[in-house]
Amino acid sequence: MHDLFGVREIADLIRSILTDPDVNRLGPDCAEPAWDCPLIGVSRGDDPLYTKFQETIGSFHWTPLEAFRAGFPEIDVAASDLAVIVWALPQTAATRRDHRACTTLPSRRWSLARHYGEAANDRLRDRLARALTDAGYPTVAPARLPGFGRETSERFGIASRWSERHAAYASGLGTFGLCDGLITERGKAVRFGSVVAAIDLPATPRPYSGRTAYCLSHAGCDACIRRCPAGAISAEGYDKERCFAYIRETTMPFVEGELGFPVASCGFCQTGVPCESRRPR
């Protein structure tokens, strides 16, 4: 028997999971929340954008139907039976403030959010998938599936089998900036999570007409170019290899010395910029 779940009920459920301090915390012995109140968007599983993403990124990149079947091979569904539910978790004001003050090595709070905040995001993915499945709507969290991982895209280099940023774009949450981060109504200092569910939910409107509609680079903004200590962003776009090399060679060893374990922490391009915590206008 199905309980009734609409977009509002699911948004309430996501928010209530995040109010649990056992889920949303900046560390095992820290009561400070890792994330602010989330933004939530929905897209349909048969949205043509997902096929386009696969064609652009590579055949290894899952469509919603492929992700769902990886979790529930025994359930016979069509792409049109599925909804992709995506959330954006904004960094807190304290984390953004600390990180804004840094220029070459990441703030402690930012690194904690990258590590423990992402663990909180995993708990959210798991709890939401379980709650919806238990309510009669089989649900997978693609980023939690055993087959999830990184592949090499001919066009983009290292790429995930499921891009939550792209799912967020498809779900009306925002558009890409010069550094390839997604600019949302709560800015670019956010992390994304998602599930794919066999549920009939309406898609969130996409109030934009192009991939980079919210980015002000066309109006001369170069703030993220100037913030990047690796020179990985230019007017032409984002150099992923250069970015990853800086993280691997500079920030990860620094964070390992600070916290005792390595964390892929950087994100200077997400703070101290006009799109840090809002859509720039």
Contacting residues toward ligand SF4, per CB under 6 A: 177-179, 215-217, 221, 223-224, 228, 230, 232-233, 243, 246, 266-269, 273-275, 280
Q: What are the structure tokens assigned to 116, written together?
A: 């423990």
The nearest distance, CB 275 to ligand SF4, in angstroms, is 4
Residue nearest to ligand SF4 (CB): 177
Cβ closest to ligand SF4, residue 58 vs residue 280: 280
Q: If DSSP codes are grouped into helix, strand and coil, which group holds residue 258?
A: helix
Cβ closest to ligand SF4, residue 39 vs residue 273: 273
The nearest distance, CB 256 to ligand SF4, in angstroms, is 17
List all residues 6 or more positions away from 30 whose beta carbon is below 8 Å from its beta carbon. 112, 116
The nearest distance, CB 279 to ligand SF4, in angstroms, is 9
Cβ closest to ligand SF4, residue 26 vs residue 230: 230
The nearest distance, CB 264 to ligand SF4, in angstroms, is 9
Residue among 124, 103, 97 at smallest CA distance from 191: 124
What is the C-alpha radius of gyration for the chain, rounded to an integer number of angstroms?
Answer: 18
The nearest distance, CB 217 to ligand SF4, in angstroms, is 4
Cβ closest to ligand SF4, residue 132 vs residue 252: 252
Cβ closest to ligand SF4, residue 131 vs residue 243: 243
